[in-house]
Chain A
Amino acid sequence: SSELTQDPAVSVALGQTVRITCQGDSLRSYYASWYQQKPGQAPVLVIYGKNNRPSGIPDRFSGSSSGNTASLTITGAQAEDEADYYCNSRDSSGNHPLYVFGTGTKVTVL
C-alpha cells in the first residue's frame, strides 16, 4: 500500500510563510487534500483538489503539487494556525487501502 510522508514538525514566525510537504507515489495520480487538527478537535478540511479552499478557510492557505509531492503553504501565519496538519489522498497501489493519510506535521507559530 502507499504511504504519505510528512516532516514531523515545523516552526514559523508570526506573519511569516511556512510550507508543509507530503510525499508519496499516490500523489502522481491523485490530488492531496489537507486537514488541520487542533488539540481535542476533529480535523478540518483546508485544501482540496488542485488548490481549492472550503468556505470559511482563509486565503492564506494554499496548495500545490508536483510529481510525487504535494505542498500546503500558509502565507502570513497566524497564532491560530498552530495545529497538526495531515495530507490525504486516494491510494493508487490497488484496492487497499482506499485512502491513505500522511504522517502529520505539527506546526508551531513562534
Chain B
Amino acid sequence: EVQLVESGGGLVKPGGSLRLSCAASGFTFSNYSMNWVRQAPGKGLEWVSSISSGSTYMYYADSVKGRFTISRDNAKSSLYLQMNSLRAEDTAVYYCARDLAGLYYFDHWGQGTLAAVSS
C-alpha cells in the first residue's frame, strides 16, 4: 500500500524556518517525481514545488521561490521542504504528493502537516 506521511509542521514566528519531511513507503520512491501542495485555512489548493525522481529538476511557485528548497533522499525514501523567511501567508496544511513524470497528475497524497506562521 502506498503511504506518504508528512511531519515537521508547527508554529513559527514570521521570518523563521521549518523543515517539512515526507516519508514514503509501499512503492519504489526513486521512480517518481514528488511534489508539495499547500492549502491555506479555508482556501483552495496551491502547488508549491516539484522535484524530479533523480533530483535533476526542481521547480517552485513564484510565491515561494528563493525562500523554500525542495530536496529528496531516495535511499531513505524521503522528501523534504526547507522553508525559510516564513510569512503569515505561508500558513497552510502542506501535503506531499507523488506523480509519475510526464503524466501530470498526483495519484497519491499524504494526510498533510500544518505549518502556522504567527507572532
Task: Spell out A's residues near B (CB within 8 Å).
Answer: 1, 30-31, 33, 35, 37, 41-45, 48-49, 54, 86, 88-90, 95-104
Q: How many A-B residue pairs have CB under 8 A?
A: 68
Q: Would you list which residues of chain B between 84 and 119 have a CB under 8 Å from chain A?
A: 95, 97, 103-112
Q: Which residues of A contact B37 (CB under 8 A)?
A: 43, 101
Known A-B contacts A42-B111, A44-B109, A96-B60; A86 and B104 likewise in contact (beta carbons under 8 Å): no
* Alpha-carbon gap, A19 to B60, bound state (A): 32
Chain B: minimal CB distance from A23 (Å): 15
* Alpha-carbon gap, A34 to B50, bound state (A): 19
Find the B residue at minimum CB distance from A99.
B47
* Alpha-carbon gap, A47 to B106, bound state (A): 10
Q: Which residues of B contact A98 (CB under 8 A)?
A: 47, 50, 59
* Alpha-carbon gap, A104 to B42, bound state (A): 11
Inter-subunit contact A97/B111 (CB<8 Å): no
Inter-subunit contact A103/B47 (CB<8 Å): no
Inter-subunit contact A43/B62 (CB<8 Å): no
